[in-house]
């Protein structure tokens, strides 16, 4: 988030008027554990840092570090829940939140985070993931089968419009579950989920994509043959990066891609045990186990029409 100078000034004033240097420093250390206010301000350890100076330094550092929204989240917690048994009413907090809302971010009380208002804009990191930090996310990988052959067989405009249809199906399934497309190459891509029950959201999105592609092929496909796709779902802890190539080096993402390419049949969704272990039993019963060396390694979802 690009923090306007007016919001920086308002937040600095709110912090300076609402807590002493010790408390505001604790808030900063909750976000940056090795935060050293004396070192950053240039004051000697034996010197007392004025509240206004401390507040200005801390807020400025949070903005520069891309952690401003996390900082405001901590202020909300101090205001509502408190710290060490004491609540700290934060002056001007409603004004601060209103300005953040106007900038296109809304507070999610369940996850205690500010997230992008999807009506305003959508970015890969939901406006909250910080490069270099680790997060648990769920992933979907989709790939259109036989892309090279399709490209050779049919006119370019027909392929482009067909693949655009597929992307719209994917976007519809993941947008309603607050997922984000992290990469897309025309014939498929990688989708990530972070909020809510992310693992279940990934599985349900994958199932919906399989279902919608089935109906698309039945009723609306532009090609003389059906579009076949492989979809895989997995989850794991990754280190976030703003660079897509760096993101792809994370093991859970590489494993998701491997599940799609090695263990997924056309027109099906393959679900890792990391995902299936979080699903309701009734859902898992409807999946087909994929066994390797006598043990279940993955589950498969497909549309089985009764004869």
Tell me: the pLDDT tens digits for 200-228?
999 999 999 999 999 999 999 999 999 99
Closest CA to 125 of 205, 251, 242: 242
Tell me the per-residue pLDDT of 125-160, one tens digit each, with 9 for 90 and over: 988 888 999 999 999 999 999 999 999 999 999 999
Q: How confident is the model at residue 307, as a pLDDT?
A: 43
Closest CA to 73 of 100, 44, 50: 100
Check whether residue 69 and residue 199 sit in a common domain: no
Task: Give the residue numbers spanning the domain of 238.
Answer: 134-301
Q: Final residue of a domain: which of 60, 89, 116?
A: 116
Check whether residue 150 and residue 105 sit in a common domain: no
Tokens of 117: 């208002």
Q: How confident is the model at residue 306, as a pLDDT?
A: 57
pLDDT means per 10 residues, the chain with 307 residues, are 93 97 94 95 94 97 94 95 92 96 88 83 87 95 96 96 97 94 94 93 97 96 96 98 95 97 96 95 92 87 76
Question: What residues does 300 pair with on adjacent strands?
Answer: 270, 288
Answer yes or no: is 125 within a domain.
Answer: no
Answer yes or no: is 126 within a domain.
Answer: no
| Inter-CA distances, 265 with 65, 143, 231, 301, 306, Å | 44, 11, 9, 10, 19
Q: pTM of the prediction?
A: 0.81
Element (H, E) at 50: none
**Residue keyed to tokens 């891609």:** 257
């Amino acid at each position: 988030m690009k923090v306007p100078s007016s919001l920086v000034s308002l937040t600095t004033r709110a912090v300076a008027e609402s807590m002493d240097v010790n408390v505001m420093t604790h808030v900063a250390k909750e976000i940056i554990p090795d935060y050293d206010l004396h070192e950053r301000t240039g004051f000697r350890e034996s010197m007392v840092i004025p509240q206004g100076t401390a507040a200005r330094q801390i807020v400025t550092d949070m903005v520069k570090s891309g952690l401003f929204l996390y900082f405001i989240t901590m202020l909300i917690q101090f205001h509502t829940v408190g710290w060490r048994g004491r609540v700290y009413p934060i002056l001007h907090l409603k004004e601060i939140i209103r300005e953040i809302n106007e900038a296109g971010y809304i507070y999610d009380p369940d996850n205690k985070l500010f997230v992008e208002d999807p009506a305003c804009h959508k970015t890969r990191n939901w406006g909250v993931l910080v490069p270099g930090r680790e997060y648990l996310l769920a992933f979907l990988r989709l790939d259109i089968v036989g892309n090279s052959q399709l490209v050779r067989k049919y006119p370019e405009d027909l392929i482009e419009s067909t693949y655009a249809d597929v992307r719209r199906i994917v976007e519809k399934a993941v947008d309603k579950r607050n997922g984000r497309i992290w990469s897309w190459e025309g014939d498929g891509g990688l989708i990530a989920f972070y909020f809510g029950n992310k693992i279940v959201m990934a599985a349900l999105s994958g199932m919906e994509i399989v279902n919608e592609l089935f109906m698309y092929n039945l009723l609306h496909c532009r090609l003389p043959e059906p579009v076949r796709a492989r979809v895989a779902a997995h989850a794991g802890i990754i280190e976030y990066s703003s660079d897509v190539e760096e993101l792809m080096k994370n093991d859970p993402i590489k494993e998701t891609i491997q599940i799609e390419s090695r263990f997924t049949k056309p027109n099906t969704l393959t679900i890792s045990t990391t995902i299936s272990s979080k699903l309701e039993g009734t859902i898992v019963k409807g999946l087909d186990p994929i066994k390797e060396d006598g043990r279940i390694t993955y589950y498969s979802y497909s549309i089985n029409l009764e004869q």
